[in-house]
C-alpha cells in the first residue's frame, strides 16, 4: 500500500503520518494525506479551482462573493476567514504567540514560524523552478521568479490604464498614482457644471468611473 496513514503511537488524539512523520489529528488525517497524493475533490463552480477540503472551498468562495463575516471589534475591519481576523487582532495587541525554540524569535502566525525554521535553520528551499532548478523558500517567490526570469507574464492588470504587474503588490503600488483629485465636468440641461472630487481609495475611483461613464471628461490635478 502506498500510504499507511496510521501508526500505533497515539498522543492525545494525534497520529503520525507515515509519509512525512508529521503529527496530525486522527479525524483530519485523511485531509492531510491529500497533501501527499495531490487529491483535490472539492471544486469551485465559479472558477473551477480545486481544494482538499470543503472548508477550504467555502473560504475560497467568499473571495468571489466578497462575504466578510468576521469583524474586528476594535477597528471594525472585516475578514473572510477567522484565522485572518485572529492574525489582524494581534496587530492591535502586539501578541507574538509563536516562538522559535532555536533562536527564540517570535511570530504572529504559526505558518510564519514554520517557514522560518525551514528556511533559516534547516536551510530548505522546497519550491524549485522546473525550468532552471533554482530553489525558493516560498511559492510566491517561485512564481515571481518564473514570471520575471522565464515567461514574462504580468497577470495583474490595472482597471484604469494599460499597466500590468508581475505581482498583486506591484499593482497596488501602481494604483496610488491614480489617486488624488479629479476635476469633474458635466452638462445638465444645457448648463456646464464643474467641481472637484477627491479620492483616497482605488475602489472609490473605479465606482465613480462606472457610475458616470465619463472617462473623457476627467482631468487629473493631484
61-120 tens-digit pLDDT: 888 888 888 999 998 888 888 888 998 999 899 999 999 999 999 998 888 898 899 888
- Measured CA to CA in angstroms, residue 130 lies from 135, 136, 152 at distances of 9, 12, 16
The confidence band for 187, taking pLDDT boundaries of 50, 70 and 90, is: low
Q: Work out the average pLDDT over 129-150.
A: 89
Instruction: Tell me the pLDDT of the chain averaged across its residues.
Output: 76
The answer to whether the CB of 214 falls within 8 A of the CB of 220 is no
Q: What is the distance, to the nearest Å, from the Cα of residue 205 to the centroid of all Cα atoms in its chain?
A: 23
Answer yes or no: CATH 3.30.160.60 is held by domain 70-121. yes
Question: Does the reported pTM lie above 0.95?
Answer: no
How many other C-beta atoms are found inside a 10 Å radius of the C-beta of residue 168? 11
- Measured distance CA(210)–CA(204) in Å, rounded: 10
> What is the CATH topology of the domain spanning 14-65?
Double Stranded RNA Binding Domain (3.30.160)
What per-residue confidence (pLDDT) applies to 162? 83
Our CA angle for 48, 54, 57, nearest 5°, is 40
The confidence band for 33, taking pLDDT boundaries of 50, 70 and 90, is: confident
Q: Work out the average pLDDT over 45-74.
A: 86
- Measured distance CA(27)–CA(16) in Å, rounded: 12
Amino acid at each position: 500500500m502506498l500510504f499507511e496513514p496510521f501508526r500505533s503511537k497515539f498522543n492525545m488524539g494525534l497520529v503520525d503520518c507515515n509519509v512525512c512523520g508529521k503529527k496530525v489529528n486522527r479525524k483530519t488525517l485523511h485531509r492531510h494525506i491529500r497533501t501527499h497524493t495531490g487529491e483535490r475533490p472539492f471544486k469551485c463552480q465559479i472558477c473551477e479551482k480545486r481544494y482538499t477540503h470543503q472548508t477550504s472551498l467555502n473560504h475560497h468562495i467568499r473571495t468571489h462573493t466578497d462575504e466578510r463575516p468576521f469583524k474586528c471589534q476594535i477597528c471594525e475591519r472585516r475578514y473572510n476567514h477567522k484565522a485572518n481576523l485572529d492574525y489582524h487582532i494581534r496587530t492591535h495587541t502586539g501578541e507574538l504567540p509563536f516562538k522559535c525554540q532555536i533562536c527564540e524569535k517570535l511570530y504572529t502566525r504559526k505558518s510564519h514560524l514554520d517557514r522560518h525554521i525551514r528556511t533559516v535553520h534547516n536551510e530548505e528551499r522546497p519550491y524549485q523552478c522546473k525550468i532552471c532548478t533554482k530553489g525558493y523558500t516560498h511559492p510566491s517567490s517561485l512564481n515571481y521568479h518564473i514570471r520575471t526570469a522565464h515567461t514574462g507574464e504580468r497577470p495583474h492588470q490595472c482597471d484604469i490604464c494599460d499597466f500590468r504587474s508581475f505581482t498583486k503588490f506591484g499593482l497596488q503600488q501602481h494604483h496610488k498614482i491614480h489617486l488624488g483629485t479629479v476635476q469633474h465636468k458635466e452638462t445638465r440641461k444645457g448648463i456646464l457644471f464643474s467641481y472637484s472630487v477627491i479620492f483616497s481609495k482605488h475602489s472609490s475611483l473605479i465606482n465613480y468611473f462606472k457610475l458616470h461613464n465619463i472617462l473623457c471628461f476627467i482631468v487629473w490635478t493631484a
